[in-house]
A and B are shown apart, each in its own frame.
Chain A
């Protein structure tokens, strides 16, 4: 018996540049007591669907053009605003992606958790609200709830803040909980715990949940049924098993195929475009050549890191932070070393320290028989050509005020790789073509490109100086899975054609396994385990590694 029935929902955005059909005739239903997962990439309309239900969209530019959503005798889309307010927070609650920005930084936690009850249950006294709030905080796993409830949001960690949001949403025992990417911003181990919590609370409090995510693994872990959305429409609907084992729609097939899992053995990833264009899955997969497995001895290290330490003193309370604490790595030439760990473990700092973008406190980084740590800025100049880096955020990685041609020509002219405008321009065009763009993009500015294209531009810029070694610092982490597959394929191709060596830093264990020949696991500034990729994933030695691997959603 569906508790919520969404029928033909249409939500359009009317802006000065045109009309976007964010949600275009979407229908599905939510059964009582189930967790329904809505999966889609950015622009699919999954979040807008839920915002429409609760009337949380700003009515210009958004407009609900059609549909009806019966809920308990009312049509949510056409209900009186006063009644809609009574439903929000009492019958249907919502939690959001970024708990830091979603909690009021100026009010205490207890105050905020008590609010829904005080607003919706007129008979409740402050004492009763306080008790229920604290009880709820304990239920979501906040230890010492009585004391900690008096803190402010910025004093909690990310996982705890999300628990607070969950408590706040469930304090009135609503019928439905809408969860918009609640674990996307969390570490994988924290995510695992929150997913478990949600499943428990669903049973304990008899709540029906709509769980929005872009991560198929998460959906496999937490949902009973799944709805897949693409460009504002529902393309497929079914149980988790149905969707994962027997997908019907080409987009869904593509989505499932293009994400790397622990079982992926091919060198290249199929992309969603392949499926949408009708190419079959068989041709695209090439299993890794047999010689690449275990027994071969690793080639000579291109980069050798010995006892690297990077310590910071926090300016506020003068505490010593050991971001990188005695790390030693060997990165074999022409191969990829994956550096994996959760946020704050020091992997990003390690990458930057190797490139001398961050000053190491002690230790050595050997390249070409020189210790880079001992060199001054001027002495490092020739090495800058050989060692490059690609960053996580493609939006911030390009100077917004330079055209593509300027941005790519600058390193070429600066390092005198080419002389003269014509030669430089030819080289720039060939770089663009290598990363899948073209000469027509020369005069454009970064903000005119999509995220995936910008990341390609960053790759092109890194390639411009003809490097041997590239640090990929979470460079696919901010992307949709389909774009991620394209970029990973590009990196692979370039590695083959230019004989590049990569240090691939990421928190995403599936991607790291796909991309890496060797893997190092990092925790709290130290290397916990280091081996070939196969070994680390098949036979983890350390408990932390095991914990990490078990926490990956959909693989456990």
Chain B
């Protein structure tokens, strides 16, 4: 409504003395002014560095030392030890590795599937689109966690069989193979159902962009359908996709924690934040730090990712509505 926001014609022509700026650059500049989002980005980067880079330098989180249970923080054990004498700090870091790995990889899988499915559906239109979206709607109506739990139950023993196969046939180290195959079912389960909403979002974007005049101009210029889809439509759907992907990571981390809490998530020798919180809850009255410390790291990461996603959404939204 604000009529004066419209820069009048002569003014806009005069303004073009600064460097050219793409939409992405404009959005980034806008986001830099959002302090909360920038702090969140910083926190997230710190968390990644901590959990992945620093973890290599820490003690083995699985060494059990029953003589040193529930130790207070010391120079040797920065956060003290847990009920089995294991170093809490390194357990938190290694746990973070798993939690974030699950979140990031499962999100990546979801994004790949979702963007492909959504853009094909939206671009095809008509009956194909209606059918593809009907499938999505139906799958979406099924409670996610229910399906994931069932899927996890099904895949439970698959992982130990596959691990054995990796060790024998591919000659991988047992420990590494175990750790890997214990998380793969989770990636699988989350990835299989996590792309649904993203597909819907991408499809809605594609549908609206498809009708825009610059796409009609592309048709009028004789471009092929694939060129139009990949070079013209999909790059313009990136905004909401990036926002949604950023918000998906924390929700997947949360799912992983929930499943681990129920005993259906990652399994030893892996530990995740979810498992740590569950173990900590057992001792919450006497040693609350076992619950609070992993809980704090977990929640902080989720806070950071959510605020980052919100910030991205605000930074990208203005342009989207203007165009």
Contact = CB atoms under 8 A, between A and B. Distances in A.
Q: Do chains A and B touch in the complex (CB under 8 A)?
A: yes
Given A42-B6, A48-B4, A465-B221, A448 B16 contact: yes
A355 B323 contact: no
Interface in A395-411: 395-401, 403, 410-411
A482 B9 CA distance: 10
Contacts of B222: 380-381, 384-385, 414-415
A15 B2 CA distance: 12
Main secondary structure of the interface of B (DSSP, over half): helix
B322 interface: yes
Contacts, number: 121
Contacts of A387: 220
Contact of B214 (A41, A357, A399, A444): A399
A411 B221 contact: yes
Contacts of B9: 42-43, 450-452, 480, 482-483
A389 interface: yes
> Size class of A's contact patch?
35 or more
B202 to A, nearest CB: 16
A403 B212 CA distance: 18
B22 interface: yes
A447 B319 contact: yes
B233 to A, nearest CB: 9
B221 A397 contact: no
Interface residues of B, number: 36
Contacts of A392: 213
Contact of A43 (B11, B13, B23, B232): B11
A355 B322 CA distance: 29
Q: Which of B15, B212, B220, B319 has the most CB of A within 10 A?
A: B220
Contacts of A401: 22-23, 235-236
B4 A62 contact: yes
A38 interface: no
A87 to B, nearest CB: 21
Nearest to A398: B214
B217 A391 contact: yes
A395 B320 CA distance: 12
B7 interface: yes
Given A43-B11, A384-B222, A414-B222, A444 B319 contact: no
B323 A389 contact: no
B5 interface: yes
Interface of A: 11, 13, 15, 20, 22, 41-45, 47-48, 51, 57-58, 61-62, 231, 352, 355, 357, 380-381, 384-385, 387-389, 391-393, 395-401, 403, 410-411, 414-415, 441, 443-445, 447-453, 458, 461, 465, 480, 482-483
**A-B CB proximity, top 5 nearest:** A43-B8, A384-B222, A22-B4, A450-B12, A391-B213
12 contacts: A13-B2, A15-B5, A20-B4, A42-B8, A43-B8, A48-B4, A393-B213, A396-B323, A397-B217, A399-B214, A401-B236, A452-B9
